[in-house]
Amino acid sequence: MQKIIINADDFGMSKGINYGVMEAYLNGIVSSTLLMPNLEAAEHAVKLAKAACPDLFIGQHTNFLLGKPCSDPAKIPSMVDKNGDFHRSAYYRSGKGHFVYDEVRLETIAQMERFKELLGHFPEHIDCHAVGDAVVDQAFYDIALEYGIHTTLKYSGDKVWPSLPGYMETGLLLEVNGLPFIENGTLVENFLRDDFGLLRQDSEKVIEMHFDAGFLDQFVLDNSSMTTPRCREIATLCDPRVRDWFDANGLERVHFGDLRLGGFRG
């Protein structure tokens, strides 16, 4: 049976996003989410999840692009502006910014510590929000080995990283809103036509899909280029036709914690 992670990114970005992730998990096909620990709404996200769905898997969506860092800004000078706020994505995409290994490592671990403050344990999985490079991937891989956790590495081009000890191998990685045929959020028809190629993958490897599901609020409108597609994502992920399609084609929804060998719920 093909196993697939349906992840909702950006948990903790804002209260609207938090409520949207809850909707997509409780009434849709989302199987996990990733928290942005440094943001103010992260505490709201955790409280909401503990009350509404304590079984929801929450990993870490390490954020280097929005808000203030968890580490001392003076110790990560390349990552922050004169006010101690993270540089935004345009700074890196313009070629002005470059990630520094020691700073990435320091801030990632600081966010893991904040994650632990909020949830009582270190994250079992980490990835990077929106922008990264091979330096970020190297830092994440080294941290994953050191802490015995899982990570997704997506910024190193064709480089093949050694498998993480104790974890099942993943295959197809889809950051859905970066795909050329997704223009304004995922449609039900994208699943029903199998536009993502989910039925043509190696069933020995877990598929990983990332969505930007969330309701809009003023924080999102002021701070994210991804707006209305987030609402479309919720509608699609909660559409019963999509769940029925998953069931009819034998797709088993799992989460990142299930990747640990022997961890599948069966």
Confidence check: pLDDT of 233 > 90: yes
Confidence check: pLDDT of 266 > 90: no
pLDDT of res. 253: 97
pLDDT of res. 263: 55
| Residue 158 banded pLDDT, cuts 50, 70, 90 | confident
Instruction: Kindly indicate whether the domain formed by 2-258 is annotated with CATH number 3.20.20.370.
Output: yes
User: What are 161-210's pLDDT values in tens digits?
Assistant: 998 999 999 999 999 988 999 989 999 999 999 999 999 999 999 999 99
How many CA atoms does the CB half-sphere of 134 hold within 13 Å? Answer: 6
Per-residue pLDDT averaged across 65-87, rounded?
97
Packed helices 101-119 and 42-52: angle between N→C axes, nearest 10 degrees: 40
Enter the tokens of residue 199: 């039925």
Cβ of 17: how many Cβ atoms within 10 Å? 30
Q: At which residue do the structure tokens 């990560």 appear?
A: 76
pLDDT of res. 22: 97
User: What are 135-153's pLDDT values in tens digits?
Assistant: 999 999 999 999 999 999 9
Confidence check: pLDDT of 91 > 50: yes
User: What are 34-58's pLDDT values in tens digits?
Assistant: 999 999 999 999 999 999 999 999 9
How do the domains of the chain map onto residue ranges? 2-258
Compute the mean pLDDT over every residue in the chain, rounded to the nearest whole number.
Answer: 95
Enter the tokens of residue 242: 């999509």
Confidence check: pLDDT of 28 > 50: yes
Per-residue pLDDT averaged across 15-44, rounded?
98
Per-residue pLDDT averaged across 86-109, rounded?
94
Would you say 20 and 214 are in contact if contact means Cβ atoms under 8 Å apart? yes
